[in-house]
Amino acid sequence: MNEKKGLVVVLSGFSGAGKGTIMKHLMSTYPGAYHLSISATTRPMRTGERDGREYFFKTREEFDRMIEEGAFLEYATFNGNSYGTPREYVSKLTAEGKDVILEIEVQGALQVRNIFPDALLLFVTPPSAAELKKRLVARGTETDEVISQRLSISVGESELMDKYDYLVVNDRLEDAVRHVHAIIQSEHAATRRNAELINDIHKQLEEFRKEQI
């Protein structure tokens, strides 16, 4: 029996690239296929969010204690707030053969790559920088200052895009969702992820041949 571990899939992307929407649709289009890791954060809860659903909302003290206890797989600061991936959920589910998706920013993604060289890193981007700017502005709720702050974060992120395994261009939502699913499923079939199965088949065939002689 070939007991395969689940994949650790990291999904990052520019603010305004639509990664949250892609995630939501991925989960509803392919029910049960993926498990979403819920991060801890020190940022204040937004309207419509619920503790334990979007994030585990923590005080600075609680977050620091979790760091000391080694509870995080990775953690990083984004826009003045701390975010971290609880280690236990990811370890438990991947050990059970389930694919876990981490929707995290670039610094955290690179930490995950160091810990799990086999992690699959996907980066979501709009088709062009002009489109990204348009989407950031189109939200309409943000001041010019916030928009330019977001754009400078995006500049830094764009420098790390080539560290990712795949780009997901989010032009049409359904296409992007299908694309993410296809990439993850293809990765399961990658020969380098199936060394054990390849070896088993090879050994068994040799046995069969010996029996024939």
Residues near ligand 5GP, by CB under 6 A:
39, 43, 74, 76, 78, 83-85, 103-105, 107-108
CB of residue 51 vs ligand 5GP: minimum separation in angstroms? 14
CB of residue 197 vs ligand 5GP: minimum separation in angstroms? 32
| Nearest by Cα to 87 from 46, 39, 45 | 39
Q: Which is nearer to ligand 5GP, 104 or 119 (CB)?
A: 104
CB of residue 133 vs ligand 5GP: minimum separation in angstroms? 17
Q: Which is nearer to ligand 5GP, 7 or 14 (CB)?
A: 14
Calculate the alpha carbon distances from 83 to 16, 61, 202 in Å: 18, 13, 45
Q: Which is nearer to ligand 5GP, 56 or 194 (CB)?
A: 56
The 10 Å CB-count burial string (b at 16+, else e) for 128-154 is: eeebbbebbeeeeeeeeeeeeebbebb
CB of residue 107 vs ligand 5GP: minimum separation in angstroms? 6
Q: Rounded to an integer, what distance in angstroms lies between the CA atom of residue 101 and that of residue 119?
A: 10
Q: Rounded to an integer, what distance in angstroms lies between the CA atom of residue 19 and that of residue 13?
A: 6
CB of residue 146 vs ligand 5GP: minimum separation in angstroms? 12
Residue nearest ligand 5GP by beta-carbon distance? 108
Q: Write out the two tokens for 65.
A: 């204690």
Q: Which is nearer to ligand 5GP, 141 or 212 (CB)?
A: 141
User: Is the CB of residue 125 less than 8 Å from the CB of residue 12?
Assistant: no
CB of residue 62 vs ligand 5GP: minimum separation in angstroms? 14
Q: Which is nearer to ligand 5GP, 71 or 129 (CB)?
A: 71
Strand partners, 121: 10
Q: Which residue type sits at 120? A: L
Apex 150 CA angle, 145 and 155, nearest 5: 125
Q: Which is nearer to ligand 5GP, 14 or 177 (CB)?
A: 14
Q: How many residues does the chain have?
A: 213
